[in-house]
Structure 1
């Protein structure tokens, strides 16, 4: 008779121990759809700031930002978690590195304004995630 209550207690404790790690959220920086969306915005912003003949579609950019925030909220992230992610100095530095690596993989040196502007025009022509934010 004592075996059943002990077994139930063991199952309950085991369930609680296992549920903790399962309930932990993945950092937003590791949620590709959010992180890659922000990277596209960051690259588009850099292009529009450095290329005189390329402008931003600000309403589209704001709509994209709002959509990413809504998606993060739908995934269970709080406004504070989202704000911490987008304002963190460490995250901004990581995003700069990620964007630089992305551009390098596309054959673009992020420090080369002429190459960056040519890349921006290609992105606009292809209507990529970056290109739709520019004109």
Structure 2
């Protein structure tokens, strides 16, 4: 191998290693976390409002798209699986969703507030609303 080829291979390896090190940890990647948070919010609304139902196939489709996004960002399948299955990360996501809902006026014991937030999100055509179906 010529010295130019060795240098080129070394440069590719160095750049690849640097890019991997510079990547944001998956539990801090904004798009991934925002999307999951919206899913947790939709779940909480469906769990607390008798006139809201989760759209499970849509949720599954969104998770598949999110997984593909994560893989394109350079995260490994192992990293994605560990993140999604982490009890700590689920707890964090649910806490963030609860805080968002509380700010919107929906908290445990306020069934109609959950319903109102769900209806508003459906009307806004947000991801939260996309993941819900109203039975009103």
Q: TM-score range by the shorter chain?
A: 0.7 to 0.9
**CA deviation map 1:27-84 (0-9, x unaligned):** 2121111111011111111211222211122221111110000000000111111111
Q: 1:84 to 1:22 in 2, by over 3 A?
A: closer
Moved more, 101-110 or 54-63: 101-110
- TM-score of the superposed pair, with normalisation by structure 2: 0.76
Q: Contact (CA 8 Å) 2:20, 2:74: kept in 1 or not?
A: no
SS at 2:58 equivalent: helix
Q: 1:41 to 1:25 in 2, by over 3 A?
A: same
Moved more, 72-81 or 39-48: 39-48
Aligned to 1:122: 120
What RMSD, in angstroms, separates the aligned Cα atoms of the two structures?
2.2
Question: In the TM superposition, what are the counterparts of 1:14-93 in structure 2 within 5 Å?
Answer: 23-93=21-91
Q: Contact (CA 8 Å) 1:103, 1:110: kept in 2 or not?
A: no
How much has 1:113 moved relative to structure 2? 2.6
Higher Rg = 1
Matched residues in 2 for 1:92 and 1:111: separation?
Answer: 22
How much has 1:22 moved relative to structure 2? 6.6
Matched residues in 2 for 1:119 and 1:65: separation?
Answer: 22
- Residue segments in structure 2 that go unaligned for 5+ positions in a row: 1-9
